[in-house]
Structure 1
């Protein structure tokens, strides 16, 4: 029996919820397929407990490094990059690197989808400093402790057309949707997609990066792919661990670039089989070709997204 009356969501704040009330709260939210709408964004219903617990309990450290992304913008790749850069002094022998035997999602765990979804208050004391975590939440919904701290946030975004194609492949591989490509596209345009609306997600971090560039670094997938070593150095500088001239002379930046490349990581056994967070591990590795959307979109689809993003990003300085 429900412990909350139907109108509770109007008068009860989420931070007042007890764990046994989460189910009632989540079931009261608007739904669309496997998604639930919460504070203007759409979340996979099965991860809503993790979202609520993360918001309520996470305490940020000043030294934390948080990787934030909307889904399917190169998240797995960036996790590998950040882990390799931040921990490079501990793993000088690349033949014994943790990325060879661990999926990037294990090395840089999700706070919302994994740690807080498994347990109301997970024990995070075993993570060495700087702690390296990830999440898919928009900036507006991050815990206050993150917004009030000086921890660093690295954000990655991508051309929305390629993002959608990658998202479609992911949903198909995991059997998450019964909608057609066209139906899924229409919902994406309406903002109904995982952690969407996509444009609101991107803008939430973009605006913050303009106001607090020392705290939030926004990276564009296409630029990261075109000039990886340049941006690796930029990331290291932002995180306060710049590559030394000696490291550069030894080719460390290039070595990390090769180690974290799609061609290398996707062929490792640990990334080819089994499941990660109850999803097929291989589904996290889709070759993100820039401009691949032209093989899937009709001219009308392309124009529709163009119109949406011209409207949403007009005057922001953000480009794709």
Structure 2
């Protein structure tokens, strides 16, 4: 990590826990509480690396539960549910708030299985875990822009800090595995090992973009919600990127107002130099070859 990037990291309130860098709103105390978090039999979990479609899937699940008559809660009401977080807008850490939340709970996490609660890493009973994934190049670009918005909206000198965090610097950090929330490949592969466990469903951002109706149907079936085709199509229409962006922009939670940017596959081509793309391709082959996990990039 170059000198300027290290300086930016020093200026921003971050910390390291078990060799992974976390932002200030994920405290060591929260992370240490994860082994004791108690699951319920009807919990639904979304596990993901940041900026890979977490809130998109949350919107889909929310509307499925509403349509099935299982819950009236909105995605706005569930937006705080990132398990390891303590949102600046809220008085209490998420894992404590979830203890008093009505069922069915929809729990979000960006943790790897070895740091997540045992009931998520190795679920039992009727617990459902949906793992959302996205190609690493688009994930890197989306994380870059979200990081800039976090700086600009939450820190006094944020606009100055954002000026120095160039794409080239961020790209190098992401490729090195030193980005916030850790190494992308370590994260996705740690969850991918669970693919044969029937408690898990794996969704790819690119497949959702290609056929959202099929994705909604797949999620509904996984959650054992009996919805007719008309309802599935209606949910898919409500959950298009254009409609979700309007929902996010009107959120009471500041971070959700800039959650959605372009929502496209292949935006990385507007940022990556040929050399950066080649470096990512080499890492992609090294880490994923032979694992059965593949991504589409355009």
When normalised by structure 2's length, the TM-score is: 0.82
Which of residues 193, 197, 205 is equivalent to 1:207?
Answer: 193
Which of residues 194, 219, 222 is equivalent to 1:238?
Answer: 222
* SS in structure 2 at match of 1:154: strand
Alignment of 1:143-292 (within 5 A): 143-150=117-124, 151-175=127-151, 177=162, 178-210=164-196, 212=197, 214-243=198-227, 247-248=228-229, 251-268=230-247, 271-273=248-250, 276=253, 279-292=254-267
Q: Residue 57 of structure 2 corresponds to which residue in structure 1?
A: 78
**Cα distance, 1:164 vs structure 2:** 0.8
Structure 2: state its 5+ residue gaps: 1-7, 152-157
* SS in structure 2 at match of 1:122: helix
CA distance in 1, matches of 2:282, 2:111: 25
Q: Residue 103 of structure 1 corresponds to which residue in structure 2?
A: 76
CA contact under 8 A between 1:71 and 1:194: conserved in structure 2?
A: no
Q: Residue 96 of structure 2 corresponds to which residue in structure 1?
A: 122
Q: 112-121 or 256-265: which moved more?
A: 112-121
**Cα distance, 1:105 vs structure 2:** 5.0
**Cα distance, 1:254 vs structure 2:** 1.1
**Cα distance, 1:255 vs structure 2:** 0.7
**Alpha-carbon spacing, 1:174–1:257, altered in 2? closer, same or farther (3 Å):** same
Which of residues 69, 77, 89 is equivalent to 1:90?
Answer: 69
CA contact under 8 A between 1:73 and 1:157: conserved in structure 2?
A: yes
**Cα distance, 1:239 vs structure 2:** 1.6
Which contiguous aligned blocks of 4+ residues in structure 1 show a shift greater than 6 angstroms?
none
Q: Residue 308 of structure 1 corresponds to which residue in structure 2?
A: 283
Counterpart check, 1:61 vs 2:40: yes
Map Cα deviations across residues 4-42 of structure 1 (whole Å, 9 max, x no partner).
xxxxxxxxxxxxxxxxxxxxxxxxxxx944443322322
Alignment of 1:3-42 (within 5 A): 32-33=9-10, 34=12, 35-42=14-21
Q: Residue 3 of structure 1 corresponds to which residue in structure 2?
A: none
**Cα distance, 1:194 vs structure 2:** 2.2
Structure 1: state its 5+ residue gaps: 1-30
How many residue pairs match? The answer is 272
Q: Residue 317 of structure 1 corresponds to which residue in structure 2?
A: 292
CA distance in 1, matches of 2:224, 2:64: 11
CA distance in 1, matches of 2:250, 2:208: 27
CA distance in 2, matches of 1:117, 1:197: 30
CA contact under 8 A between 1:50 and 1:114: conserved in structure 2?
A: no
**Alpha-carbon spacing, 1:226–1:54, altered in 2? closer, same or farther (3 Å):** farther
**Cα distance, 1:173 vs structure 2:** 1.8
CA distance in 2, matches of 1:313, 1:229: 28
When normalised by structure 1's length, the TM-score is: 0.77
Supply the RMSD in Å over aligned alpha carbons. 2.7
**Cα distance, 1:171 vs structure 2:** 1.2
Look at both structures and tell me which one has the larger radius of gyration over its CA atoms: 1
Map Cα deviations across residues 263-312 of structure 1 (whole Å, 9 max, x no partner).
112224xx325662xx4432111122111111111110100011111101
Q: Residue 113 of structure 2 corresponds to which residue in structure 1?
A: 139
